[in-house]
């Protein structure tokens, strides 16, 4: 298995270079270094000289991909792309275009993102799997039919509606928790309840239907009939046998997102005033801060690759027949 892991990590290198290249190309199709300078220096009284100085100071005065004025390998290395990409692989993100240390920001913001994402993930998984099993338990009854109708209804509602409606109902009408805000420590719990509950409710429709489908497929298999024939109760059949055997498709969708929990949620963080990495990324895009955008896309790619690797490894854990070689 170790050989497999090393091979996968080795494959990650060209993928990351490709992602970096694509990010770079897409970003600079939309923005030029002059645009970035103007965004940082402001729109009032900015002179061409000031823009030039800003570019030189931050290394954006070089050609993007190919330096025809340089000699030999310098034609590729004395470029913005090379300058800005190489250190990323050593996880040195440098400073943002407004001069702040990106690594420091990421470390600071990771906590708030995880404070929302981890409980949402765990609670969401627990609730949706339980609901799916509950519907399967009552399959082909009115409860199942109405449950599915409810799920479709929940799926049809925009995520934004859950947030705005939830804030209005729970905080403004019932006055139970703060509308938005964040603080670290135990008192922060008050601020997390609403975004976590809303995120879980928003995920119920789609996830419950998906898991229900997986369980229904599983429940028609021979081993389930055998278990019933042995006289096991329906709950034992579902929780001990069906759930375990449905783990591979569940893990496929679940494990891959675990590392990405670090990246935070763009919408939830924005509406609930959570100072996490999701809102950091959005702010950077709005501010045309390439250094941050590039760093966040890079980290996202690394985490996604890590998630896929963990998914593969988790298969061997839930299904002894799977061997990684």
Partner 1 sequence: MLHSVRFWVALLLLAGLVGCRPVWNDPYPASEGEANVMYSAFTNRPKHLDPVQSYSEDEATFLYQIYEPPLQYHYLQRPYALIPAAAAEMPKVILLDAAGRELPPDADPAKVAESQYEIRIQPGIRYQPHPAFAQRDDGSSRYLPMPAEDLARARQLGDFAETGTRELIAADYVNQIKRLAHPRLHSPILELMGDYIIGLKALHARLQKDPAAQAWPATHIDLTRYPLDGVQVVDRYTYRVRLRGAYPQFLYWLAMPFFAPVPPEVEQFFEQPGMAERNLTLDWWPIGTGAYMLAENDPNARMTLVRNPNFHGETYPCEGEAADQGAGLLADCGKAVPFIERVVFSREKESIPYWNKFLQGYYDASGVSSDNFDQAVQLGGQGDVLLTDEMRERGIRLTTAVAPTVMYTGFNMLDPVVGGGSERARKLRLALSIAIDQEEFISVFLNGRGLTAMHPLPPDIFGYREGEAGINPYVFDWVDGRAKRKSIEEARRLLAEAGYPGGRDAATGEPLIINLDTTGTGLGDKARIDWLTKQFRKIDLQLVVRSTDYNRFQDKIRKGNAQLFFWGWNADYPDPENFLFLLYGPQSKVASQGENAANYANPEYDRLFERMKAMADGPERQALIDRMMAILQHDAPWIWGFYEKAYVLQHGWLMNRKPGKIIRSALKYQRIDTALRARQREAWNRPDIGPLFAMAGLALVVVGPAVLAYRRRERATGRKAA
100 interacts with partner 1 by CB under 8 A: yes
Q: Which stretch binds partner 1 (CB under 8 A): 14-22, 93-101, 115-123, 212-220?
A: 93-101
Return d(Cα 230, Cα 199) in angstroms, integer: 40
Query: Nearer to partner 1 by C-beta: 177 or 204?
Result: 177
Q: Which stretch binds partner 1 (CB under 8 A): 107-115, 207-215, 251-259, 298-306?
A: 107-115
C-beta of residue 319 within 8 angstroms of C-beta of residue 259:
no
Q: Give how many residues touch partner 1 by CB under 8 A.
A: 64
Residues 143-162 that bind partner 1 (CB under 8 A): 143
Among 57, 61, 92, 217, binds partner 1 (CB under 8 A): 57
Alpha helices by DSSP H, 67-169: 74-77, 80-86, 102-137, 142-156, 159-166
232 interacts with partner 1 by CB under 8 A: no
Return d(Cα 147, Cα 175) in angstroms, integer: 30
266 interacts with partner 1 by CB under 8 A: no
Token pair of 144 as six digits: 């199942």
Query: 241: which residues sit within 8 A by CB, 6+ positions away?
Result: 223, 224, 227, 232
In terms of Cβ atoms closer than 10 Å to its own Cβ (0-12, 13-18, 19+), residue 44 is exposed
Return d(Cα 192, Cα 274) in angstroms, integer: 9
Among 101, 130, 153, 223, binds partner 1 (CB under 8 A): 101
234 interacts with partner 1 by CB under 8 A: yes
Question: Mask 9-28, x = binds partner 1 (CB under 8 A)?
Answer: --------------------
C-beta of residue 77 within 8 angstroms of C-beta of residue 244:
no
Considering the complex, what minimum distance in angstroms separates the CB of residue 63 from partner 1?
Answer: 19
40 interacts with partner 1 by CB under 8 A: yes
Residues 201-230 that bind partner 1 (CB under 8 A): none
Query: 208: which residues sit within 8 A by CB, 6+ positions away?
Result: 128, 131, 132, 135, 147, 151
- Residue numbers of the site for partner 1 (CB under 8 A)? 30-32, 35, 38, 40-50, 53-54, 57, 95, 98-101, 104, 108-109, 112, 137-138, 143, 164, 167-168, 171-183, 186-187, 189-191, 233-234, 270-273, 275, 279-280, 283, 287-288
């Amino acid at each position: 298995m170790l050989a497999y892991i090393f091979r996968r990590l080795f494959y990650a290198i060209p993928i990351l270079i490709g992602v970096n290249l694509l990010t770079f190309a897409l970003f600079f199709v939309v923005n030029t270094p002059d645009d970035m300078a103007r965004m940082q220096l402001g729109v009032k009284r900015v002179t061409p000289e000031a823009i030039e100085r800003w570019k030189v100071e931050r290394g954006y005065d070089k050609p993007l991909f190919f330096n025809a004025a340089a000699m030999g390998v310098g034609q590729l290395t004395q470029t913005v792309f090379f300058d800005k990409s190489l250190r990323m692989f050593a996880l040195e993100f440098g400073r943002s275009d407004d001069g702040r240390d990106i690594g420091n920001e990421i470390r600071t913001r990771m906590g708030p993102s995880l404070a929302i994402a981890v409980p949402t993930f765990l609670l969401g998984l627990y609730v949706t799997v339980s609901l799916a099993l509950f519907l399967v338990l009552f399959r082909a009854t009115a409860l199942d039919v109405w449950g599915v109708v409810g799920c479709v209804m929940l799926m049809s509602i925009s995520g934004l509606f859950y947030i705005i409606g939830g804030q209005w109902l729970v905080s403004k009408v019932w006055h139970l928790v703060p509308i938005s805000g964040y603080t670290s420590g135990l008192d922060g719990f008050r601020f997390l309840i609403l975004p976590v509950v809303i995120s879980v409710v928003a995920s119920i429709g789609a996830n419950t239907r998906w898991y229900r489908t997986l369980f229904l497929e599983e429940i028609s298999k021979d081993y389930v009939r055998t278990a019933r024939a042995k006289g096991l109760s329906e709950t034992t059949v579902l929780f001990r046998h069906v759930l375990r055997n449905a783990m591979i498709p569940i893990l496929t969708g679940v494990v891959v997102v675990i590392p990405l929990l670090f990246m935070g949620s763009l919408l939830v963080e924005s509406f609930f005033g959570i100072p996490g990495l999701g809102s950091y990324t959005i702010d950077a895009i709005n501010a045309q801060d390439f250094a941050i955008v590039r760093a966040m896309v890079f980290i996202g790619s690394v985490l996604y690759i890590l998630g896929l690797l963990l998914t593969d490894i988790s298969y061997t854990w839930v299904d002894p027949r799977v061997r990684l070689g």
